[in-house]
């Protein structure tokens, strides 16, 4: 992931290596290349501009010009700023409900159903929770089937109501079912569409009101770059979600979504999806991701 961005940042910072001393011009030139690398990765223009401005201020403030190892200091400043850009701290999910309700939102194909399964499996194995998966995509029978296959695979019960076209009712019934069967986490998979539309937003907003989730997670395909950020904004305006899940980071993702989303919606990235298998889920750590980007 982020291979192109990594290479370009490495090249930009490499120029400083071997310089015992560097000048303000060297710093400016390096940061120009850093900015170019961010823009190539599909990071929003304003975000990229602010990024280099902040690094420059810090570099000059920390006497990078007279430091013994200016290139190492610059790498550290860029790494710190990348960490900040991706949220700074690791933010876990809130499992305090009884049962905890987790609502998945996002466009069709973003990876909601797959991630619902991954999260159920993660909570079951890592946190020893009793999980119920709920299929609320009433438009595509295939989506319910897919969830059932996933549930079977990981040994988690799936609640669905064939023939019921009312996702609000299904989710409410699922909560009752969860309580009566001793489940302590309910993960609700919802219907997405190919683009943001009013009907989808109204529907998910109604489910949200009805089940009052501890965690609403916005699932987004990281390959979609800037579009991912616009979609995140639309969903956040309606749902005020708790966190973001970036999927498909195993592909050749440029990085724009990961680097821009926090600045735009001010919500943390909580998990990443790194493959189609049920085990391909990781808690998102901004510092580790920055380390990975800078090699």
State how far the Cα of 37 lies from the Cα of 87, in Å rounded to an integer: 20
Is 97 marked as binding a ligand? Answer: no
Is 110 marked as binding a ligand? Answer: yes
Measured in degrees and rounded to the nearest 5, phi and psi for residue 202 equal -65, -45
274 binds ligand GDP per the rule CB under 6 A:
yes
Which pair of tokens denotes residue 205? 């907003």
CB of 259 to ligand GDP, least distance (A): 18
State how far the Cα of 25 lies from the Cα of 188, in Å rounded to an integer: 54
Q: Which of 250, 251, 218 is nearest to 232 (CA)?
A: 218
CB of 109 to ligand GDP, least distance (A): 5
For helices 70-85 and 256-265, angle between their N-to-C axes, nearest 10 degrees: 60
Among 273, 286, 289, 293, binds ligand GDP (CB under 6 A): 273
Is 113 marked as binding a ligand? Answer: yes
DSSP assignment string, 265-289: H---EEEEE-SSSTT-EEE--HHHH
CA dihedral 34, 267, 215, 228 (to 10 degrees): -60
CB of 288 to ligand GDP, least distance (A): 17
Q: Which of residues 96-115 bind ligand GDP (CB under 6 A)?
A: 106, 108-114
Is 260 marked as binding a ligand? Answer: no
Residue 141 or 251 having the CB closest to ligand GDP = 251
Among 63, 276, 279, 291, binds ligand GDP (CB under 6 A): 276
Instruction: For 79-89, give one letter per residue: b (16+ CB within 10 A) or e.
Output: bbbbbbbbbee
248 binds ligand GDP per the rule CB under 6 A:
yes
Is 67 marked as binding a ligand? Answer: no
Is 106 marked as binding a ligand? Answer: yes
Give me the residue whose beta carbon is nearest to ligand GDP: 273
Helix (H) or strand (E) holding 100, with range, is: strand 100-105
Among 234, 280, 283, 294, binds ligand GDP (CB under 6 A): 280
Binding residues for GTP: 106-113, 189-193, 247-250
Binding residues: 106-113, 189-193, 247-250
Give the interface with ligand GDP as residue ranges (CB under 6 A): 106, 108-114, 192, 247-248, 250-251, 273-276, 280
């Amino acid at each position: 992931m982020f291979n192109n961005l990594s290479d370009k940042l490495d090249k930009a910072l490499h120029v400083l290596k071997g310089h015992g001393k560097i000048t303000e011009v060297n710093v400016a030139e390096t940061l120009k290349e850093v900015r170019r690398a961010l823009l190539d990765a599909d990071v929003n223009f304003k975000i990229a501009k602010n990024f280099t401005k902040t690094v420059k201020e810090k570099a000059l403030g920390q006497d990078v010009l007279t430091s013994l190892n200016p290139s190492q200091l610059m790498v550290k400043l860029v790494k710190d700023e990348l960490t900040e850009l991706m949220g700074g701290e690791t933010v876990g999910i809130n499992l305090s409900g009884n049962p905890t309700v987790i609502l998945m939102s996002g466009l069709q194909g973003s990876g909601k159903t797959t991630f619902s399964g991954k999260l159920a499996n993660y909570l079951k194995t890592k946190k020893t929770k009793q999980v119920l998966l709920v299929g609320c995509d009433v438009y595509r029978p295939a989506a319910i089937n897919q969830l059932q296959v996933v549930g079977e695979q990981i040994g988690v019960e799936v609640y669905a109501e064939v023939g019921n076209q009312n996702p609000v009712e299904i989710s409410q019934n699922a909560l009752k079912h969860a309580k009566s069967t001793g489940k302590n986490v309910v993960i609700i998979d919802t219907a997405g569409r190919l683009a943001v539309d009013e009907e989808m937003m109204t529907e998910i907003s109604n489910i949200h009101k009805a089940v009052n989730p501890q965690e609403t997670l916005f699932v987004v395909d990281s390959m979609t770059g800037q579009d991912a950020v616009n979609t995140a904004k639309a969903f956040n305006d309606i749902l005020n979600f708790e966190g973001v899940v970036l999927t498909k980071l195993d592909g050749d993702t440029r990085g724009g979504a990961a680097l821009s989303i926090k600045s735009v919606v001010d919500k943390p990235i909580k998990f990443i999806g790194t493959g189609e298998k049920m085990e391909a889920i990781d808690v998102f750590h901004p510092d580790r991701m920055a380390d990975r980007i800078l090699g």
